[in-house]
A and B are shown apart, each in its own frame.
With several copies, the nearest count.
Chain A
């Protein structure tokens, strides 16, 4: 099952309009300029190559999140993270106005940050800073740099970022819409991302590797592995269709270690199988594991333990990259010191675990893997069936029919009927499946596991449990038990 490759003519036509949406679009009008510039970037700073190397070496690379309003401050921040923080890969996290294409507000944020002497934006407004601002940033550091954001329509951002020397671009038409937006129509967003992927495909065709990373964790809140896996694989297929080759699929820590290990193994296996089944062979698939993406404990010592457990799973799961949280997570965007301390803590546990084999090969992991495989197949089959001959339509219809449904997401195009709850061992299960096309046997297993918890706690399975589970980790537990 595939989607159509955006024709070059349509791409160029769109491009003109896109570049006009903000003055800095003009500077990237010449596509070949970006290409030429990318060719000057040393291999050691190419994100796609770094990921491939990590895979070959069996290493896990560390990447923080970071972005501030002003160029010089942002450079200082990234330099600190690569030296003091020993980050292997650098981010440039985009501010939330830019994510909504509200460049004027972003501009005001830049001005105010100048006056305030501190960043009042929650990220780096790359579009406002334009191609040259981005080049300043990517040239100032020694590690590969990725744009991390949450932008439903990221076409202009992608144009500027790639011409600006970034060698990896996060996001996707589902993962950067449903959890990040309220009113963005599913098909529109998918088409906007086809543009981004086509642009990356253009670079690839011309010999420049650019890494693409669909956003795995979605809402970061009790997302069962099979839901995020399905989205990741769909976005992978859509990207490959447009010529992307270096793909990093993501998964956010759920908290139950064995479920997490099963999730990481199945993500790699299922993605590989699906891509091959769709006829792709020359892709380069790697994995990213996100340390706990839900609410964090306010206490920094407790936060370090959440970070450490994430590092443990990253190591045991043998992923190529892990995105690192900081001890400030619950409170606000971390200072550079707090950010570096998250990196150092993760580095410590990763390297202590690096040489160890951890026993994923056991009955529970096997059971969870089998379950996830069946669940993902059920969803993929349903999306394919809904697709006719266009995967984009399949996804649109799947959301409309609730065949795809992401827990706690703000999008009005998301049914929001799925209710996840932890079972008695903290694995994420489904209380309500909404319209998800899961068979009775699968749902019987979920229900049985939740019954076990219900018995253990002496209370029925209700929405209160969901609430308790959402708060649990921030209150020092995995499972939200009654007091």
Chain B
């Protein structure tokens, strides 16, 4: 089986590049084909890259707090562009202020994300889930 293709990036006006560097290194090492858009990525850039690279998943990072505003509408646009099966993950410090994670998860799931992760997530676990989700969507 080919390495699953995934798109990485930090959405909006967010410049936090350290976690992104680590995610890139980790998922590459874990056997994914990574298209890394770096920081300050718009919704359009995410979807363009997903289309171009025929990616199975988009992993959106947001660290700086504007995650909710920046992510609104991404799922709809993906559907409009025919990416019905796209796996959408979000992770990082997704909202402004220390917030119970359940609340953050609820809000981002309502925006159409398949899974939502706090900053302390164990990346190996994410890789496991990601493979399974991609597999499930394929069928």
- Asked if the two chains touch in their complex, CB atoms less than 8 Å apart, one says yes
Q: Which residues of B contact A332 (CB under 8 A)?
A: 65, 93, 95-99
How many chain B residues have a CB neighbour from A under 8 Å? 25
Is A333 engaged at the interface, CB distance under 8 Å to the other chain?
Answer: yes
Is A432 engaged at the interface, CB distance under 8 Å to the other chain?
Answer: no
Of B13, B38, B66, B93, most A-chain CB atoms within 10 Å: B13
CB atoms of A333 and B65 under 8 A apart: yes
Q: How far is the CB of B36 from chain A (nearest CB, A)?
A: 12
Known: A96-B64, A121-B66, A408-B21. A330 touches B15 (CB 8 A): no
Q: Which residues of A contact B93 (CB under 8 A)?
A: 331-332
Q: Which residues of B contact A333 (CB under 8 A)?
A: 65, 96-97
Q: Which residues of B contact A435 (CB under 8 A)?
A: none
Distance between Cα atoms of A463 and B39 in the complex (Å) = 21
Distance between Cα atoms of A410 and B36 in the complex (Å) = 12
Partner-contacting stretch, out of A104-112, A203-211, A252-260, A261-269: A104-112
CB atoms of B17 and A120 under 8 A apart: no
Of A119, A410, A470, most B-chain CB atoms within 10 Å: A410
Is B105 engaged at the interface, CB distance under 8 Å to the other chain?
Answer: no
Contact size range, A: 35 or more
The DSSP consensus for interface residues of chain A is loop
Is B110 engaged at the interface, CB distance under 8 Å to the other chain?
Answer: no
Known: A109-B69, A328-B98, A463-B25. A410 touches B17 (CB 8 A): yes
Q: Which residues of B contact A338 (CB under 8 A)?
A: 98
Is B18 engaged at the interface, CB distance under 8 Å to the other chain?
Answer: yes
CB atoms of B38 and A96 under 8 A apart: no
Q: How far is the CB of B19 from chain A (nearest CB, A)?
A: 8
Known: A97-B13, A182-B15. A467 touches B96 (CB 8 A): no
CB atoms of A470 and B22 under 8 A apart: yes
CB atoms of B40 and A120 under 8 A apart: no
CB atoms of A112 and B13 under 8 A apart: no
What sequence of 0s and 1s flags, for each residue 101-130 of chain B, a beta carbon within 8 Å of any chain A beta carbon? 000000000000000000110000000000
Distance between Cα atoms of A470 and B40 in the complex (Å) = 21
CB atoms of A120 and B68 under 8 A apart: yes
Q: Which residues of A contact B12 (CB under 8 A)?
A: 96
- B120 closest partner in A (C-beta): A298
Q: Which residues of A contact B95 (CB under 8 A)?
A: 332
Q: Which residues of A contact B66 (CB under 8 A)?
A: 95-97, 109, 120-122
Q: Which residues of B contact A342 (CB under 8 A)?
A: none
CB atoms of A410 and B15 under 8 A apart: yes
Of residues 45 through 75 on chain B, the ones whose CB sits less than 8 Å from some CB of chain A are: 64-66, 68-69
CB atoms of A112 and B98 under 8 A apart: no
CB atoms of B69 and A120 under 8 A apart: yes
Distance between Cα atoms of A119 and B21 in the complex (Å) = 29
Distance between Cα atoms of A319 and B131 in the complex (Å) = 48
CB atoms of A100 and B39 under 8 A apart: no
Q: How far is the CB of A415 from chain B (nearest CB, A)?
A: 14
Is A225 engaged at the interface, CB distance under 8 Å to the other chain?
Answer: no
Q: How far is the CB of B121 from chain A (nearest CB, A)?
A: 11
CB atoms of B15 and A295 under 8 A apart: no
Is A221 engaged at the interface, CB distance under 8 Å to the other chain?
Answer: yes
CB atoms of B69 and A410 under 8 A apart: no
Is A430 engaged at the interface, CB distance under 8 Å to the other chain?
Answer: no
Of residues 288 through 329 on chain A, the ones whose CB sits less than 8 Å from some CB of chain B are: 294-295, 298, 328
Interface residues of chain B, those whose CB is within 8 Å of chain A, are 12-15, 17-18, 21-22, 25, 38-40, 64-66, 68-69, 93, 95-99, 119-120
- Apart from A99-B13, A335-B98, A410-B17, 10 more pairs, CB < 8 Å: A100-B13, A108-B69, A120-B96, A122-B66, A181-B40, A295-B18, A328-B97, A330-B120, A333-B96, A410-B15
A-B contact pairs, 16 of them (CB 8 A): A95-B66, A97-B13, A97-B66, A112-B69, A119-B97, A122-B66, A122-B96, A182-B39, A331-B97, A331-B98, A332-B95, A332-B97, A333-B65, A335-B98, A408-B21, A463-B25
